[in-house]
Structure 1
């Protein structure tokens, strides 16, 4: 990770820290740290040169590429980093966040987390198999293909489901806490 990204994250954490409840103050740093550590380990060890290690028991030109695309329709590391690229602005500058923007960001994180978790589940389920039977064109017949590091990918897949579930839960709790604080302030205004 470059120092520019670390500077951006530090800036986001400082701005959001002022708006967050107690849960929110720890939610973002912990989940980002967990995700970056997991992604750093996953990309470097399990998904590096994945296409080059994927094998099918055929010599038909194009068959192996087609089967690889069928077994991995979307790169999981790309799906997992989707949220980082959605939060970061193009000029790497963080504008001042108000409470309403923070609330919108919490809602956005919940929607993105649910959407990405649903996409991950629809595309891969909860585990990846070492062997894969493929019968797509241009393969002359059904061929057996073999996905490298399937067990390690399954472990990372389950860890990311867990992290996403915790993130969704904590963001919902954060939203409820902010709503309760807003209602208390509103009730206090009516009593005066």
Structure 2
């Protein structure tokens, strides 16, 4: 495997993830992938070779092993890790598609053309839905595999001795599993880390939905404030009226008494009127 390509994929996933997504990525890479590669694969390498039954009947050991281990833990974990990490790669591919689309648009319209995406990695529109669905898919994959492990191996544990009476075994035979305690420890460790990853994916999905709802509420509040300001301006005096107030056609202005002045002949003093 080319580790430079793998490092580029990890840096891309880390770049376009939230804080919860970065913690999830650390759990996947350190506590699941490295444990799988370094330790777990070696623990299950001798599961068939050291599966001993107290009989020499040909084929009895193979039939009993297939009955109690229908699918190996190590192969189920490999398939689980592949399916869990694929949705994160889809997010990177979506961002790369946005960047390529924007480059084609700039090549066609020049450098002065309007940008299609101000930030191709910003989780808006289709990328937001892709990211949210990837979280739901990752949590769903882990839950399904946890159920599969529980269905095949009750309580996620392996017994020390299993009794088998399947043909061609001549009678009920006892079969002994190799290193059951060590396998149980690794099984419980992988189950716990898978449960933590499920919780982180659900919390991150709730965080994205809550943040989106909060932004919508803030946008709606801004629209409401603008409408209220427009209504306040319409009730006040119109601009450019010079302080005049307009009334209806049936409005009658109030009459005011005019004080008498000395220049008016009708307002002469009584002494002047009496003179000849």
What TM-score bracket applies, with the shorter chain setting the length? 0.7 to 0.9
Q: Which of 35, 39, 47 does residue 38 from structure 1 map onto?
A: 35
Q: Residue in 2 aligned with 1:82?
A: 79
Q: Residue in 1 aligned with 2:22?
A: 25
> C-alpha offsets along residues 130-183 of structure 1, whole Å, 9 cap, x if unaligned?
211011122111110011011101001110111011111111111111111111
Q: Is the 8 A contact 1:16 1:102 kept in 2?
A: no
The alignment partner of 1:96 has SS state of helix
Q: Which of 173, 178, 181 does residue 143 from structure 1 map onto?
A: 173
Q: CA deviation at 1:21?
A: 2.0
Of the structure 1 ranges 76-85 and 126-135, higher mean CA displacement relative to structure 2 is found in: 76-85
Larger radius of gyration: 2
Q: Which of 13, 16, 20 does residue 13 from structure 2 map onto?
A: 16
Q: Which of 119, 135, 157 does residue 148 from structure 2 map onto?
A: 119
Separation in structure 1 between the aligned mates of residue 26 and residue 5 of structure 2, nearest angstrom: 13
The alignment partner of 1:132 has SS state of strand
Could you tell me the TM-score, scaled by structure 2's length? 0.62
Does 1 or 2 have the higher relative contact order (CA < 8 Å, sep 6+)? 1
Separation in structure 2 between the aligned mates of residue 30 and residue 140 of structure 1, nearest angstrom: 48
The alignment partner of 2:163 has SS state of strand
Q: Which of 130, 137, 154 does residue 101 from structure 1 map onto?
A: 130
The alignment partner of 2:49 has SS state of helix
Separation in structure 2 between the aligned mates of residue 178 and residue 60 of structure 1, nearest angstrom: 60
Structure 1 gaps of 5+ residues are none
Separation in structure 2 between the aligned mates of residue 9 and residue 180 of structure 1, nearest angstrom: 32
Separation in structure 2 between the aligned mates of residue 7 and residue 79 of structure 1, nearest angstrom: 27
Could you tell me the TM-score, scaled by structure 1's length? 0.87
> C-alpha offsets along residues 24-68 of structure 1, whole Å, 9 cap, x if unaligned?
122112332210222120112x11132111111111111100101
Q: Is the 8 A contact 2:135 2:205 kept in 1?
A: yes
Q: Is the 8 A contact 2:14 2:25 kept in 1?
A: no
Q: Is the 8 A contact 2:33 2:81 kept in 1?
A: no
Aligned length: 184
Runs of 4+ off more than 6 Å: none
Over aligned residues, Cα RMSD in angstroms?
1.9
Q: Is the 8 A contact 2:161 2:176 kept in 1?
A: yes
Separation in structure 2 between the aligned mates of residue 33 and residue 22 of structure 1, nearest angstrom: 17
The reply to whether residue 70 of structure 1 matches residue 62 of structure 2 is: no
Separation in structure 2 between the aligned mates of residue 175 and residue 75 of structure 1, nearest angstrom: 32
